[in-house]
Amino acid sequence: MFSLTPVLVAVVCILIAWIFKNADGNMERRKGETRARTKAQPWVDEDLKDSSDLHPVEEDADDWQDSEESVEHIPFSHTRYPEKEMVKRSQEFYELLNKRRSVRFISNEQVPMEVIDNVIKAAGTAPSGAHTEPWTFVVVKDLDVKHKIREIIEEEEEINYLKRMGRQWVTDLKKLRTNWIKEYLDTAPVLILIFKQVHGFAANGKRKVHYYNEISVSISCGILLAALQVCVLPTLPRRQTQYSMAKQ
């Protein structure tokens, strides 16, 4: 008997989930001839749906296009470490990441721009659906712009706490002693805004679907947090929905 490593088990589970999802999709397709084609979006997971997915990219026969970009081949280079070294490295990486904390009191000490560039480059190495790389990173250092962002976020966050989140969510947050006041958005030397691109544009100007954009950007954010932790820079992740930004 062979035993599956945890990593392999995870991969197998994902494959199984994918196969079932497709099997379901095929049955649905057979049943529902009448269903509009634009509704078939297997890459939008139910539990990852948000307001951006309410406007599916319209598809019709004329929109089909061949993959036009010829992608440069980057050879895979690989160092195989002895088992002991792998254990040591994984343990050290875990210990480093285990020191990460969401920090809500941040010093205004400046950070070299090269560091910010490097961590964003690291985040940009993330895998993405069909290699669409559906992210935009925006670095904000200007005091006035940071303050404007703080105003937008606080205005929305107050509505979140008072109306949108509901009693249970607000109660669950009590232990963190958070509220809608975010001084750190003024004091932090750098804000990194990460936008997900729900679609892109091909060279011919046609819309290009960004499959699994939400989950791809989330993975990229995870890598960004890890890269910042490698530099022992404090971070605070937060998610901002599009309604507040759309106002601007």
Ligand X SMILES: Cc1cc2nc3c(=O)[nH]c(=O)nc-3n(C[C@H](O)[C@H](O)[C@H](O)COP(=O)(O)O)c2cc1C
* Least CB distance to ligand X at residue 84 (A): 30
* Of 37 and 238, CB closest to ligand X: 238
Pairing label, strands 191-196, 135-140: antiparallel
Instruction: Give the binding range for ligand X (CB under 6 A) out of 33-41, 105-113, 120-128, 237-245.
Output: 237-245
Using CB under 6 A, count the residues that bind ligand X: 9
Pick the binder of ligand X from 51, 102, 241, 242 (CB under 6 A): 102
Select 160 or 200, whichever has its Cβ closest to ligand X.
160
**Choice from 29, 104, 121, 131 touching ligand X (CB under 6 A):** 104
**87: Cα separation from own chain's centroid:** 28
176 near ligand X, judged by CB under 6 A: yes
The H-assigned helical ranges of 55-199 are 83-97, 113-123, 143-159, 166-173, 184-187
Q: Which amino acid is at 137?
A: F
**Applying CB under 6 A, does 164 fall inside the site for ligand X?**
no
Residue pair 204/68 in contact (Cβ under 8 Å)? The answer is yes
Query: What are the tokens at 175?
Result: 């232990």
Site string for ligand X, 40-69 (x = CB under 6 A): ------------------------------
Does the footprint of ligand X cover residue 39 (CB under 6 A)?
A: no
- The Cα 220–Cα 2 span in angstroms is 34
The β-bridge relationship of strands 199-201 and 191-196 is: unpaired
The DSSP bridge partners found for residue 192 are: 139
Residues that bind ligand X (CB under 6 A): 101-102, 104, 176, 178, 236-239
